Amino acid sequence: MNVLGLHLLLELKDCNPALLNDLDYIRESMHLTARKVGAHVVGESFHHFSPQGVTGILAIAESHISIHTWPEYGYAAADIFACGSSFEPKEAAQLLAEQLESKNPDITEIQRGMVPTTAVG
């Protein structure tokens, strides 16, 4: 079986609450992560909630990087989905956790698109 993509679910606990509430910092951290691993950004959307919290997504040629933050809990939920092999999603996950100063990251890996190795014909 071949895998079409790798989807990482990040539970970023014990993060710096101030960083989690800073839309510009979140946006730049996600762009920096994408650049460092060689992902190709094709679009984005970010929003700051009142009174606190940020949600954002980078559409990348390889799929997406997304985040939703809860500064009041020092917590962020993030996804990194990468199709193909142009970059290593686990490296991106580590970089994003470091950017948010998560002291307790937990990463779950899901293989997406299990397909036979031989063409059906």
Catalytic residues: 63, 68, 83
20's CB contacts (< 8 A; 6+ apart) are 26, 53, 54, 69, 70, 71, 74, 75, 76, 100
CA nearest neighbour of 66 among 86, 91, 88, 41: 41
Beta partners for residue 114, in sequence order: 3
CA nearest neighbour of 107 among 69, 72, 79, 70: 79
Whether residue 77 contacts residue 60, with contact meaning beta carbons closer than 8 Å, is answered with: no
Q: What token pair was written down for 62?
A: 């390889």
